Every structure is written in C-alpha cells, then in structure tokens.
Amino acid sequence: MMEEEYQLEYFTTHGLIRKSCPSCGAAYWTRDPDRATCGDAPCEPYAFIGNPVFRPHSLKEMREAFLSFFERHGHTRLERYPVVARWRDDIYLTIASIADFQPYVTSGVVPPPANPLTISQPCIRLNDLDAVGRSGRHLTLFEMMAHHAFNSLGNEIYWKNETVALCDEFLASIGADLARVSYKEHPWVGGGNAGPSVEVLIGGLEVATLVFMNLGKVRSSDPPVLLDGEPYYPMTTRIVDTGYGLERFVWASQGSPTIYDAVFPEIVSTLVKKAGIDASLSDREFRNILALNAKYAGMMDIHGTNLLQMREKVAGIIGVSFDDLQRVITPFEKLYAIADHTRCLAYMLGDCIVPSNVREGYLARLVLRRTLRMMNELHLDGDLAELIEMQLQLSGDASFEQGLDIVREIVDNEVERYALTLDRGGRIVQKLATTYRQKNIPIPAQELVTLYDSHGIPPEIVRDVAAREGESVEFPDDFYSMIAGLHSRSVTEAENPHTRYAERVASLPPTQKLYYDQPDDMEFEAEVIDYFDGIVVLDRTLFYPEGGGQPADTGLLITGTGMVRVDHTIKLGDVILHQTKGAVINRGERVKAKIDEERRRSLMRHHTATHILLRAAKDVLGSHIHQAGAQKGSESSRLDIRHYKHITPDEVQRIEILANQMVMEDSLVSIKWEERTRAEQKYGFELYQGGVPPGKEIRVVRVNRDVEACAGTHCRSTGEVGPIKIIRLEHVQDGIERIEFAAGSAAIYYLQRMEGLLNDAAQVVSVQVENLPAAVQRFFTEWKDQRKEIERLQKKVAELEIARLNIEMIGDVRVTIQCLDATPQQLVNIANSISGSGGIALLASKDGKVHVVVGSGNTAVNAAAIVRKVCEILGGKGGGSPQLAQGTGQRVDLLGQAFEEGRAAIRAGLHG
C-alpha cells in the first residue's frame, strides 16, 4: 500500500511524526518523538496492566461514552444487529460491525440506514477458541463499537482526517494521554475489499482499527493495486469502517490482569467462589504470578500447539518454575474461558440460535460442550443454565428475543444430552479397554477414530476412561487429520441444466411478470419472443416459475394451429422459460395461454398456509422458530423449522388450531415492494425465512401476523386458504422438525382418506370406529395370550406323544424312529425331550413335504449328519447342531427308505 495514503493533514498539523518500528519494521505516527517501538504487541509488553490508560469505566459506561460521543458529533445511533447474521447467506455469525451492512449497503445498492452512524455490535469469532482464557485477551464474543461513514459520488460524509480526529478526541474524552497513542500503518484486506488502515495503540494494546475501504474487486478503468498478489480497483463508494474493541477499552481503563477480570467481574468472582479457589487469591505471591503472567502472556502469539513453549518462556521471564506457573494458571484459564463462553452462549441463545449438529447450531453446541467440559474439570457443581441466565441479565441488553424459560430449557436439554453421550461413550470405552487389556495391547488409533466419528467421544475422554481401566491409548498426533481424511470427498455440484441457455437468453428483453399483479388471473395473451429446444419465451407471462419453494405452473399455450402443453416454467435472469412438449411454435406468433387453475390455486393455498403455520408454530413453540426450508405441493406441503426438541402431539394440535383460527379471521394478505433497509428496520430479520433475496427492494408479504420477504403467489385473504391439516411430523435431522400439511381441498381429501381407513379397519373387527382402539388392544392381548397357551399345549402334547412312542434299544441307547402327526415345532420339542435324557430321536411329519428332526443325546451320533443323509434321500436338505438338526424333503414316498438309512447310520454311529 502506498505510503502517501497515510500522509494525513491531521497528523502533520497536530504534531504527529512518522516513525519506523525497529522491532517489526512497521511505520507508525506518534506525538512522542522519544517513542521506541510501534507500541503493538509483541514489540511492547502490556504497560496498562496495573496502570490504566483511561479513566475507569464499566462495560456499560464505556459503551455509552462511545455511542453518545459520536451522537454528539453528528452520528445516528443504531440498535445492535443479532449475533446470527440472518440477513446474509455467506456467514453464520456476525463477525464485525461492517457485516451488518454487507453486502448491499457496502456495494452501494441500498442506502445505509443512517449516514454517518454509530453502533456497538456484539460479534462472535470462534477461530481463536483455544486461546480464550489463556491469552488474557481473547474472547469468543466481543462488542465492536464503530462509527461508519458511507461516501459516494456527490455525497461525501467524511474520510481519513475526520476519522482520525474523531478517534483522538474520543480517546481524550475518556482520559487518554494522546502522547501515548500511536497510529500504526497497516494495509487492510478482507472479504473482497481492501484499503489503507491504521491500528490505534495505547499502553501496548491495540484498541481500535480505522479502515478506509476504497478498493474492491470490481474492475474499473483505473490501474489496479496489487495486494497479496490480487488486483484491487478503486471503488466509487468509499467506506469508513472503524472497530473499537469495547472490552479492550474497558480493560485498558481498569488495568486489571486480564480482560476477563475487567469485563465480567461478577461472573469471575462467582466462579472463583464456586470453584473454591477464592482462598488462594488472597495469597500475595499467587496474585503476583497471575499478574505477571497476564502481562507477558499478551506478548505471545498463542496457538494451541505451542502453548507449552509459551508458558515455559513466560515462566522464565517472571522467574517461577514451569510447574508452579502451570498449577497456578490452569484453573484460572478454565474459569476465564467459562466466563467468556457463557456470555457468548447467552447472546447466541438469546438471539434464538437452536443448538444442533448443523450450521450455527453446531457452533452453539461446540461452545456449550466445551464449557461443560471445563466446568467439569473445575468440579463446578451448579448448572450452566444459571450462569447463562446471569450473563443475560448482566448484559443489560433488552433486545434478546428468546424467553429466559426457553433458554433454560434448551441449555438443560443440551446438558442432559451431552451427559448421555458421555455416559454411553464411557461404557463403550470401558468395554473396549477390557477387550484390549486381555489382548495386552493399547487401544489402537483406529478405534479412537471410530469412537469419535460414530459416537462423538473425543479422544481425550477415551484416554481418561481407559486410564481408569488401567489401559493405555494410542493417540496419534495427526488424529484430527485422520478424521478429516475420512470425510474429504469431492463435492459434486448440482448444475442447473438450463444454464446452457444463458447466452441465448441474455440478449432477450426481460419477461413481464403478470403473476405478481394479477395473481388471480389464469388466462392471458402474449407474443412469442423466442423458441428453441421446446422452450418458449413470451413477452409477458402469468406462469409462475419455480422458486422460493413454490413449484412452477403448468398449463396450455394455444396457437393458431393447435395446443401446446407447458410442463415446467423456470426463471433465468429476468427471462422466464416455458418448457413445452408438442407442436412447433413460431417466433412472433400470438398465443393464448391458460394456466392449470386447480393446481395453481392449490399451490397458492399451500403457500399462504405455510406462512400461517410458521407464525402459529412460533406462537406455540417460541421465538426461536425459523424456517429451515419448505416445499409446496398441490397435494401436500412441507415446512421445516428449527426446534430443539420433538414437537409433541399436544403442540401439533395447538399449532393446527391456531393456524385455522388465522384462516377464519379471513384477514387480507398484503403484498408490497419495500426498500430493503427500511423493511429490515420495520419488521426485523424475521423477514428472511426462506433465504435472503437479492436486490435493493424486497417483496414483503404480510399474512395475518406473519411478515416475510417472499416472491411467491398468495391467496388474497387467509380465508381462501381453507382448512389446514397437519398430516405428519418428521424429525429431519438434529434441530430440524418437518411439518407436513395439506390445505384447502387437499386437506379435505386427506381427512376423507383417513376416515375411510378407520372405517375399513373398524369393519374388519366389527366394531364402531370409537371402539376401535379398545378392540384392537383386546385382540392383540388375546392373540398374545393364545400364542402362549398354544405353546403350553404343544409342550403338553409333546409329553403325551413321547409316552406313546415306539422305542427300540440299540445297545443300551433308547432310539425312536417314527413319523408323527405334528408340527415341526412339536417335533423339535419331542426330539429335545428324548435327547435330553440321553436318547436318540429321528422324527418326521408329513404335510405335502416331509419335515425331519433329529435329536441326539449321545455324542457318538451326530444329529446334523443323520439329517443330511435322510434329507438327501428325500430330495431335500437339512442341517443343524450335533444335538439337534432339522431339514425337509419333497419325496414323501421315500420316507420308509429314508428311515432305514437313518436307522443304519445311527446304529453305525453307536457301534462305531
């Protein structure tokens, strides 16, 4: 980045000079001619610890100081956005204040909600998860205080000089000595944009970054600037993107050993007490170690793997043994991490994330389980829900949508689930440990992979459990890459089969979309603009193209010479393609068109019903209910929602009743195009249920109390929807429940079909429908009882049969060879009874074919061998154990001969 970008008039007129840091080489601006380094870690240790650089502020005081300062200086204060970036489909969590305004405001498509503006935006970043609690400064959730100015041609707000001036003035307003502040030059690149930026440093701490976004990836006539080898071009919109770390300001204002002590003193002290380490805090030496560690830990670049090296270094610097440092620090690290994680979870859950194994829900679960593990390691009794609730209240943030009771329920749910997983895991590991101890080898790495991949048991836990069983574990360093290898597969991307038409379609004028203005019309006339591969392009159409979960319309085109069927309609850019079968159509021809009315009306009913059901589900289940997908059909439709447990039958009924009440209220459905930012402010991000539509304006559909951005066709009023019947519930995947339903006539058909099934079933057992459950229950019980009775009787019969059997003695062994009138099961019973007392039985029964059973109580005679021989003669097969064997054969007529062979074989066995 060019040096002149940083030659600000403000710097030169306010006595700042440009210096170069001997440690890192970076250029920086300072008022202090004697300053030695740039002032950033690791060039300089934290100087503010024990020696604050601002007047003491609490979190709340600092936030207010910032926002009101910028309000006084012409900025409009904005409410924070949710930590889940629901207005974007490229990221799950809000990672910076500027993320609130991407992509449409930053690209200039949509005007900003205010200009200039100020905001304190809670952001979540999980990429340094391992450093949280250890480094003394990392957080999963932090508030990025910001002032933004969006400059465009003809609308210049302010640029670099004013930004730095505001920064200086704000720092001074909270008590900073400006002589200690340095501005470090630092070219910024991120998310397809770039520009010069300065880092604001004081007391060794970077407290803010001022970014001047003026480069983008959109090609222009200006020469490109190369950054990291990538070309960037000047933009017409230039954005002041500042980020002031609220927590860092608070920390620097208090000079506490770690950021955690400054930011959540209440939680930290609660946890210290709970963990029973409050006594050691009064020990001076102990405190000293903590403070020194904090001071130098900040200088180290922490990434999980080299933590131990870092610790050794710190131990060396502050002059204690590695083990002492480790012993003192470890519990505090965990405790700090818990303090941080619970606040992160409070915002995640408060902003309605549902923990699950997908998307942002997975991230919430990740943080939650990590917190539980650390609580467990510190032997913290007490429930997580309580801590999170405490964080929610301490935050003083009134904008959480989720109710406390549901947050508690979700957390308790997750805690219980994790306990179950670990419990189950513990048993599996125990079993494995026993197996491998017997073999006298350690548990192999492959087993660890299976345990983690299939059962979610992390190897650390396997090691612990195995150790308790006195068994060691083979824990390879590349464990997680082994896992990654298991899952690395090329993702086959679904290709839109119509993109090959893109070039041809690009030259065509946009199709006029009649279906929006005339949702009730089903017939129209139009001119054929183009015709190729059976695809008809019209100048205007009522055919709704597939999109937003609503299937395409079908229908007829009537030409001068005949009729053509439209099977499918799709949208490609601004052009709508009608896919046809049948006759050839000529360009320029006028056609009459007719949509399949019943189908379309049913689709509209189902679509409007989807909105109603979503609202009803939200009312019944809680404000975390979001649409996770939907598919409309003309027979039935599906609505997938995010929810943390299974919907109960009782809840289904309540949702159904509520939905139908909204239908009966027969309120008008209102549809209007609104400017994006305005709509977001008016209705919130609940608007985006079926994905985030592009563009400056969005189509806002209001159905009763539900308001969504939606491009589909809808009924005029809720009354037109007709009855809504939930058909079935399905658990699609963790955290997502599917509601399948029918609306209008489809609902009636469904009810009729169900009624028919009930009637048929009732008729079979000859009872009234009302009595069906009781009758079926009775029959089932009776059937079970009778089965048992039959079994008992068969045993009895077998006993009687045995008494009547012909017994011949071969040597001193009792042998029975006989054909009986009995079931195969009975034969088995009899044979068993005889072999049980040392005898040998060769039994058969005839029913079309011959069943043969041999029981042998004598080791000299192998029952299976006898059966094989006998069945072979009978033209069949058989086998079994030496004690009992069975088989069949077709040749009933050869039974006598078969018996003789059998007798010979038994005799041979006994005499052999």
Instruction: Select 282 or 492, whichever has its Cβ closest to RNA.
Output: 492
Instruction: Select 327 or 877, whichever has its Cβ closest to RNA.
Output: 877
By CB under 7 A, tell whether 438 contacts RNA. Answer: no
What is the distance of C-alpha 419 from the center of its chain?
20
Residue from 887, 905, 906, 909 binding RNA (CB under 7 A): 887
Residue from 77, 427, 500, 846 binding RNA (CB under 7 A): 427
- CA-based nearest residue to 641, from 652, 622, 620, 625: 625
Residue from 30, 402, 713, 835 binding RNA (CB under 7 A): 835
Angle between helices 459-468 and 445-455 (to 10 degrees): 120
Residue from 273, 303, 379, 424 binding RNA (CB under 7 A): 424
By CB under 7 A, tell whether 836 contacts RNA. Answer: yes
Distance CA 98, CA 610 (A): 33
Contact assessment for residue 538 and residue 578, using Cβ atoms and an 8 Å cutoff: yes
- CA-based nearest residue to 301, from 137, 491, 71: 137
Residue span binding RNA (CB under 7 A) among the ranges 326-334, 495-503, 613-621, 825-833: 825-833
DSSP string, 831-883: HHHHHHTT-EEEEEEEESEEEEEEEE-STTS-HHHHHHHHHHHTT-EEEE-SS
By CB under 7 A, tell whether 832 contacts RNA. Answer: yes
Residue from 590, 731, 796, 846 binding RNA (CB under 7 A): 731
Distance CA 873, CA 895 (A): 8
Residue 772 is inside which H or E element, if any?
Answer: helix 772-803
Residue with tokens 């021989």: 869
Contact assessment for residue 665 and residue 647, using Cβ atoms and an 8 Å cutoff: no
Instruction: Select 225 or 449, whichever has its Cβ closest to RNA.
Output: 449
Residue from 862, 866, 886, 906 binding RNA (CB under 7 A): 886
Strand partners for 201: 182, 206
By CB under 7 A, tell whether 359 contacts RNA. Answer: yes
Residue 658, both tokens: 């509520």
By CB under 7 A, tell whether 876 contacts RNA. Answer: yes
Residue with tokens 């189509």: 699
Residue span binding RNA (CB under 7 A) among the ranges 232-240, 287-295, 485-493, 540-548: 485-493
Give me the count of residues in the chain.
912
Instruction: Select 549 or 876, whichever has its Cβ closest to RNA.
Output: 876
Residue 320, both tokens: 């204690």
By CB under 7 A, tell whether 357 contacts RNA. Answer: yes
Q: Find the shortest distance in angstroms from Cβ 630 to RNA.
A: 13
Q: Find the shortest distance in angstroms from Cβ 886 to RNA.
A: 4
Distance CA 384, CA 372 (A): 8
Q: Find the shortest distance in angstroms from Cβ 251 to RNA.
A: 32
Residue from 324, 523, 730, 900 binding RNA (CB under 7 A): 730
Residue from 487, 650, 760, 768 binding RNA (CB under 7 A): 487
Q: Find the shortest distance in angstroms from Cβ 687 to RNA.
A: 24
Residue span binding RNA (CB under 7 A) among the ranges 337-345, 564-572, 741-749, 885-893: 885-893
By CB under 7 A, tell whether 407 contacts RNA. Answer: no
Instruction: Select 28 or 899, whichever has its Cβ closest to RNA.
Output: 899
By CB under 7 A, tell whether 888 contacts RNA. Answer: yes
CB atoms within 10 A of CB 25: 9
Instruction: Select 276 or 485, whichever has its Cβ closest to RNA.
Output: 485
Amino acid in the structure at residue 356 = S
Residues of span 842-871 touching RNA by CB under 7 A: 864
Q: Find the shortest distance in angstroms from Cβ 567 to RNA.
A: 25
Residue span binding RNA (CB under 7 A) among the ranges 79-87, 664-672, 704-712, 727-735: 727-735
Burial of 556 (0-12, 13-18, 19+ CB in 10 A): middle
Residues of span 490-509 touching RNA by CB under 7 A: 491
Residue from 829, 845, 856, 858 binding RNA (CB under 7 A): 829
Q: Find the shortest distance in angstroms from Cβ 816 to RNA.
A: 15
Instruction: Select 643 or 699, whichever has its Cβ closest to RNA.
Output: 643
By CB under 7 A, tell whether 358 contacts RNA. Answer: yes
Bond into 103 cis (ω within 30): yes
By CB under 7 A, tell whether 637 contacts RNA. Answer: no
Half-sphere exposure of residue 621: CA atoms within 13 angstroms, side-chain side: 29
Exposure string of 495-524, with b = 16+ CB inside 10 Å and e = fewer, is eeebeebeeebeebeebebbbeeebeebeb
Instruction: Select 277 or 358, whichever has its Cβ closest to RNA.
Output: 358
Contact assessment for residue 879 and residue 885, using Cβ atoms and an 8 Å cutoff: yes
Residue from 355, 622, 712, 878 binding RNA (CB under 7 A): 878
- Specify the DSSP class assigned to residue 685: G
Quickly list H helices, 562-639.
Answer: 597-621
Residue from 303, 327, 379, 431 binding RNA (CB under 7 A): 431
By CB under 7 A, tell whether 879 contacts RNA. Answer: yes
Distance CA 567, CA 425 (A): 53
- String marking each residue 443-482 x if it binds RNA according to CB under 7 A: -------x-xxxxx--------------------------
Q: Find the shortest distance in angstroms from Cβ 650 to RNA.
A: 17
Instruction: Select 381 or 493, whichever has its Cβ closest to RNA.
Output: 493
Q: Find the shortest distance in angstroms from Cβ 780 to RNA.
A: 8
Residue 48, both tokens: 């503010």
Residue with tokens 């139908």: 660
Cα angle value 158/161/163 (rounded, 5°): 65
Residue span binding RNA (CB under 7 A) among the ranges 73-81, 135-143, 338-346, 355-363: 355-363
How many of the chain's residues bind RNA (CB under 7 A)? 46
Q: Find the shortest distance in angstroms from Cβ 622 to RNA.
A: 19
Strand partners for 198: 185, 210
Half-sphere exposure of residue 783: CA atoms within 13 angstroms, side-chain side: 6
Distance CA 691, CA 395 (A): 30
By CB under 7 A, tell whether 828 contacts RNA. Answer: yes
Residue 739, both tokens: 């509601």
Residue from 486, 563, 657, 908 binding RNA (CB under 7 A): 486
Distance CA 105, CA 111 (A): 6
By CB under 7 A, tell whether 270 contacts RNA. Answer: no
Instruction: Select 591 or 870, whichever has its Cβ closest to RNA.
Output: 870
Instruction: Select 328 or 462, whichever has its Cβ closest to RNA.
Output: 462
Residue span binding RNA (CB under 7 A) among the ranges 37-45, 122-130, 206-214, 424-432: 424-432
Instruction: Select 30 or 886, whichever has its Cβ closest to RNA.
Output: 886
By CB under 7 A, tell whether 778 contacts RNA. Answer: no
Residue with tokens 């429908």: 769
Residue 230, both tokens: 């990538």
Distance spanning both ends of the chain, measured CA to CA: 100
State the virtual CA torsion across 478, 481, 486, 492 in degrees, nearest 10: -160
Interacting residues toward RNA by CB under 7 A: 357-359, 362, 417, 421, 424, 427, 431, 450, 452-456, 483, 486-487, 489, 491, 646, 730-734, 784, 788, 828-829, 832, 835-836, 864, 876-881, 883-888
